Structure 1
Amino acid sequence: MINIILTNPDKCVRCMSCVRACEVNSNIVEESHVDIVPQMCIVCGACIEVCPEGARSYLKQIDIFRKWLTEEKVVAIVAPSYVAHYDEPYKFITALKKVGAIAVHEVATGAELSSMVIAEEIKSGKKVIASPCPTVVNYIKKWIPELIDRLSTAVSPMIAIARYARKQHPEAKIVFIGPCISKKSEIVQDEVKGDVDLALTFEEVDEFFESSKLNLKMLEESFPDEFNSLYGLSYPVVGGLAKTVGYYLQEDFDMVLDKDVVVIEGKWNMVKFLRKYFKNIQKGQDDENPVLAEVLYCDGGCIGGPGIRNDLEIFEKRKRVVEHTLRKLNNRRVELKRLYQDLNLTRCYKPEKVDYKIPKEEEINEILKKIGMLEKPLNCGACGYHTCKDRAIAVINGLIPWDLCIQYQFRKIEEEHERELLRIREETIEKAKKVINKQMEIAQEIAGLLGETVAETKASLLKVLDLITKEEETG
C-alpha cells in the first residue's frame, strides 16, 4: 500500500483541523504530530485543504512523468473538468502534445462507455450506486462493504478510456490528468491495476509546465484525439452521470424521475446517504432506495476536487463545463457502441473492511468519567471529534490519548492553580507565625516601654493574622 496523503511532522502543531475534517476518523494523534492511518483513509484530501500549517500534502509524481516523456511513449487521458481548470482548454491539449504525449484522449468518452454499462444494469432490474469517484468507492469498500453488491460493475470513465488507449498503444505509459487526488488510490487497486500507469492532478501538471517554462498562452489550439463525446462531457458536474445514463435509457423507458434517481454531493451528505441506504436494506425497506444513486464526494462534483484551481467559484466552473457540453453535443453513438462491444468495461470489488471497534457503553462511559464528561458532556469539538462519545470511541481504538481533552486539561490547570494558591497561603501563614514567635523578645521590650504585656502584644498580632486569613478564604 502506498501512502498518498502525507504528513510533515515538523510543521504539524496538533491543531486537530485534520481530525475535524475527516469523516472516517483516519487520523492518529501522536506525541508530536497527527498522522494518517492509510488503512482507514478514503483519500479525499479534506485534511490537506484545512491544514493551516501546510503539514498535509499528497504524493506528487511529476518526476516520473518527466522521465517517461523522455524515455517512453506516453498517452495522456484528461478528465473532462480540464475545461473548467484552463481558461483556454485546447491550448492545454497542445501543451501535452508539445511536451511529448503521442496521443491525448478525453476521459469523457470513457464516461459514455461507463454509462452504457450502468444503463444495462438498470434495464436488468438492478438498483445501482454509481460513482466515478474513487473516494466513494473507497468509503464503501472500507466502511460499508455490505453495499459492494450495489456498486455498479462499470469501470470508472478513467479506466474505460485507458483500456481503449491500451489497445491502441500497448507499449505506451497511460497517464491520467484530472482534479482528483483519490485517482492515485484507484489505479493501484488489484481489480484495475495496470490499466493506468500514473495519475496526476492539474496542479501537478501546471507545476511541470512552469518548471519547463512552457507558456500555454503562446500556443495554438488543438483537439483531443478521435471521439466526440455526448453527455459524458458533463460528468464533472453534479447530475452529469445521471443525465448521461438517462440518455442511454431513453429508448427503453423513461428513467429520469425523482423517485428513480437521487444525486448526492458533499462528504457529509455522502456518509449520511450511504448509511441510510444500508439501513433501508437491513430493515427490509429497499423500496425506499432509488433505482440510480449518483454519489459524489466533493461539493459541486469533480470540479470541486482538491487538485483543480480554487480561484473560481463552483458555479463558474460548472458554467464552463455545461456550456462546453452543449457546444460539443454530437451524435457519434455508432462509434461509441463499437467501442462498447470491443472493450471489457466491468470490474469487481474486494472489501477492505476497516477494523474499527464500536465498544460497549460501559467502556465508553469509563473514558468519559475519567475526563469528567460522563454526566454533562460538553461536545465542544475542540479535540476534532463531533461529540465526547465519538472521542471516547477513538480513544478505545488507539487514535488519541485518553487525557488529550482541552476541557479536561483546563480543569487540571485550574485545580493545580488553586492548589498552588492554597499552598502559598498556608506557607505565608506559617511564616508569619514563625516571625511572631521569633520577634517576641523585641515585642517584649517594646511592650515594656509601652506598658503592655507580651501576651497582650502576641494576642493582638494573632488577631490581625486571623483577620487576614479569613479575608483570603472569603476572597
Structure 2
Amino acid sequence: MTLHRLIYTVTSDCFDCYKCIRECPVKAIRISAGRAEVIEELCIYCGHCVEVCPSGAKRVRSDIDRAKTILSLRSRVVLSLAPSFTAFFRDISPQKLINSCRKLGFHAVSETAVGADIVSEKTREILAEHVEQESGRLLISSACPVIVEYISRYRPDLLSYVIPVGSPMRAHAEYLKSVFGYDTAVVFAGPCIAKKKEADHSGGVVDLALTFSELGAWMEEDVVENYPSKINSNGVSFYPSRSSYGSLYPVQGGAIRSLESIGIPDSWVCESFSGITQIAHALDGLDINSLNIPLFLELLACEGGCINGPAFGSCRGSLERHLKVLSYAEGASKKPIKYALSLEVKADGDPYIEPPISDDEIREALRSVGKYTIEDELNCSGCGYDTCRAFAEAMVRRRAERSMCVSYMRKLAQKKANALLKTMPSAAVVVNQELKIVECNSNFAHLWGTEIEGMYGVKPGLEGADLRKIVPFWKAFKLVLDEQGPELVEEDFKVGKRIIHGSIFVIERGAVAGGLFQDITVPWIQRDRIIQQARKVMRDHLRTVQKVAYLLGENAAEMEATLSSIVESFEGENHG
C-alpha cells in the first residue's frame, strides 16, 4: 500500500503567516510559491506545526480507512491504547471506552503501559549491567520516537547512548503477538504523530498507529450509537489486566518514577527534560567524557510529556491532564507483567548533513532583500527565522523566498507607492482621520500655489501638514472619513476662478482617505474633457445604430424566410 506524506499542507488554506517556520524546532519547512511544505528529510514528526497552524492548513495523514481494512482482512486485531487515554477521553470510564472499541471490531483492548512496564524492566537490567561492567557514563531513554528521530538526524554523536530497547508501543505489540499469535494484527492509538512513522517502519511488529483524534472521530462517524458516552459498562477490562507503573510514562519524569518503583542502582543519576528546544539547550556542551557519575536521561519531545502530544488539540489544560494520569495510575497493578523482550532494537542513524554555504552567498542573499550592513539586519523574526542571516541561509538553500522578509516587502511597497505618486499626472494626496497629510505628490503642491510648492520643496510629501489650511473643501474628506460616510465623493469644486474636479475615496474606513484632483479650467484639461465627452457620445450613438441595425436585420431575415417558404409552396403546386 502506497502511503501518503505523514504531514502535508493544504495549499489553498496556507496564508503566508510563517508561524510553522517560527515554531518548528528544526526549521523543517520550505516556502515555495508562498506556500509552506514539510521537508521530510529534516522533519522529526513532532507535529508542532500541525498544532500551531492558525488556518488548519497543516494536516496529518488519516489512517482510519487502513484500520477498517485491517479489521476486515485479519481474523484477530488487538488495540494497544496509550496510557494518556485517560486524559484525552477524560469524561468516559475505561470500561465504556473498551466496550466501544470492541464494538468497532477489535478482539481485545490492552494498555500500551504494559509495554512500558516491560521496557522499564529491560532498562533496569541494562542500567545494572553498565554499573557492573563500567561500560558507559550515559544512557538515553528510547521511549519517545521524536527524540530518537531528533538524535538520529541532528545529534548522531549521541546515537550510541540511546538504549537498544524499543518503545513501549513496540514492546507491547511484540508481547501481544506472542500471546495471541503472530498472525494477530496490533493497532496502536495515542497522542503522538511520530508513532505513525514508527509503526510504518517497525517491520510489521506494529501494523498501524492511529491518533486519539482519529479513534474518537472513527467512533463518532462509523458507529455513532457505540460512542463511549452512550455505552454502558458491563465489567469488561483491559487485556490481560491493568498495567503497573508504566501508566506514569505520559508525564515528564514518569519513566524515571517507573524505574525507581522496580529498583535501579543508586549510582545512577536520573534527569528528565521535555520540549525539543529545552532538550537541545540541555545537550549543548555536554561533555560525556567529563561525567564523573553515570547519567540516565529521560527525554520527551512534548513539553510536560505525552499528555501534551499534538493529537490532544486544545482540550483543557496540561495540569488537568497531568492530574488525570496520576489519579488513574494510583489504581495500577502492583505486579507488572513479566516478559523477556526477544528483539534488541537499536536506533538507526540517519544524520542530515547540510552542504556548506559561503559568506559570499549569504551576503548576496542579504543584499537581495536590501540588507547591506549589520544595522539593516533587524532580526525581527517576521519571516519565521531567528536572524536575518538564518533567513539568508534558507534562501540560499531554496527553502525561503524574498517576499517572506517583512521589512523588505514594506520598503518595496513604499517605493512602488512613491513612484506611482510621483509619476501620476493628477494631483494626489493621502490623509489620516485627523486630516493630516500622510503623503502627496508635487502636482498636489503645484495645484495650491507657490507657497505650498515651497513647503513641498523643503519637506517632500508634506507629511504632517494640516489639510484644512491647504484645501478649502476639506469637509469632503471629513465626510468620506466618517464611519457611516460614502466610500467615494466625486465632485467639481469651485475655488476662486478655477474649477477643481476631485475624486475623494476611502483607503481604510474611518482612518485613511485619498484624493485625486484636476484643475479642469486649464485649457488642455478642457480640451481633453471635450474629447472624452465627444467620444462618449460617439460610442453611445454607435451602440444605438448597432441595435437598430440588429433589429432591422433580424426582421429582414424573418421576412425573407417567410417569403421564401411561400414561394417554395407555390412552386411545388405548379410542378404538381
**Both proteins in one fold, TM over 0.5:** yes
Which secondary structure does the structure 2 equivalent of 1:75 belong to? Answer: strand
Which amino acid is the alignment partner of residue 200 of structure 1?
A: L
Which secondary structure does the structure 2 equivalent of 1:222 belong to? Answer: coil
Which amino acid is the alignment partner of residue 57 of structure 2?
A: A
Deviation by residue 1:13-53 (Cα, 9 ceiling, x = unmatched)? 12111111111111111114111111111111111111111
Deviation by residue 1:349-388 (Cα, 9 ceiling, x = unmatched)? 2211224345344432332233233322111111111111
Counterpart of 2:541 in structure 1 is none
Counterpart of 2:270 in structure 1 is 261
Q: Does 1:274 align with 2:283?
A: yes
Deviation by residue 1:133-153 (Cα, 9 ceiling, x = unmatched)? 111111111112221101111
Instruction: Give the counterpart of 2:305 among 301, 309, 319.
Output: 301
Counterpart of 2:254 in structure 1 is 240
CA distance in 1, matches of 2:248, 2:356: 40
Counterpart of 1:226 in structure 2 is 240
Instruction: Give the counterpart of 1:82 among 79, 85, 103.
Output: 85
Q: Does 1:331 align with 2:343?
A: no
CA distance in 2, matches of 1:276, 1:79: 34
Which secondary structure does the structure 1 equivalent of 2:107 belong to? Answer: strand
Q: Where does 1:149-164 land on structure 2 (aligned, <5 Å)?
A: 149-164=160-175
- Which structure is higher in strand share? 2
Superposition deviation, residue 466 in structure 1: 6.2
Which amino acid is the alignment partner of residue 230 of structure 1?
A: S
CA distance in 2, matches of 1:45, 1:232: 24
Residues 163 and 346, structure 2, Cα contact 8 Å, conserved in 1: no
Superposition deviation, residue 54 in structure 1: 1.2
Instruction: Give the counterpart of 1:59 among 26, 47, 61.
Output: 61
Superposition deviation, residue 469 in structure 1: 4.1
Q: Does 1:68 align with 2:70?
A: yes
CA distance in 2, matches of 1:287, 1:60: 47
Which amino acid is the alignment partner of residue 30 of structure 1?
A: S
Counterpart of 2:213 in structure 1 is 203
Counterpart of 1:401 in structure 2 is 401
Which amino acid is the alignment partner of residue 275 of structure 1?
A: D
Counterpart of 1:453 in structure 2 is none
Superposition deviation, residue 234 in structure 1: 0.4
Counterpart of 1:375 in structure 2 is 374
Q: Where does 1:26-105 land on structure 2 (aligned, <5 Å)?
A: 26-72=28-74, 73-86=76-89, 87=91, 88-105=93-110
Counterpart of 1:17 in structure 2 is 19
CA distance in 2, matches of 1:216, 1:263: 35
CA distance in 1, matches of 2:51, 2:457: 51
Residues 4 and 61, structure 2, Cα contact 8 Å, conserved in 1: no
The two structures, once aligned, show a CA RMSD in angstroms of 2.3
In the TM superposition, structure 1's runs of 4+ consecutive aligned residues that sit over 6 Å from their partners are none
Residues 200 and 208, structure 2, Cα contact 8 Å, conserved in 1: no
Residues 7 and 61, structure 2, Cα contact 8 Å, conserved in 1: yes
Which amino acid is the alignment partner of residue 112 of structure 2?
A: V
How has the CA–CA distance of structure 1 residues 216 and 121 changed in structure 2, closer, same or farther, with 3 Å as cutoff?
A: same
Deviation by residue 1:324-362 (Cα, 9 ceiling, x = unmatched)? 112224134xx41xx12xx32421122112243453444
Q: Where does 1:112-127 land on structure 2 (aligned, <5 Å)?
A: 112-123=117-128, 124-125=130-131, 126=136, 127=138
Structure 2, gaps ≥5 residues long: 428-445, 460-576
- Percent of pairs with identical residues: 29
Looking at CA atoms only, which structure, 1 or 2, has the larger radius of gyration? Answer: 2
CA distance in 1, matches of 2:308, 2:142: 15
After TM superposition, the score normalised by the length of structure 1 is 0.83
Superposition deviation, residue 227 in structure 1: 4.0
Q: Where does 1:436-451 land on structure 2 (aligned, <5 Å)?
A: none
Instruction: Give the counterpart of 1:166 among 167, 171, 177.
Output: 177
CA distance in 2, matches of 1:133, 1:57: 21
After TM superposition, the score normalised by the length of structure 2 is 0.69
Counterpart of 2:569 in structure 1 is none
Which secondary structure does the structure 1 equivalent of 2:282 belong to? Answer: helix
CA distance in 2, matches of 1:286, 1:386: 32
Which secondary structure does the structure 2 equivalent of 1:264 belong to? Answer: strand
Deviation by residue 1:409-431 (Cα, 9 ceiling, x = unmatched)? 11122223333344348x98xxx
Superposition deviation, residue 99 in structure 1: 2.0
Counterpart of 2:321 in structure 1 is 317
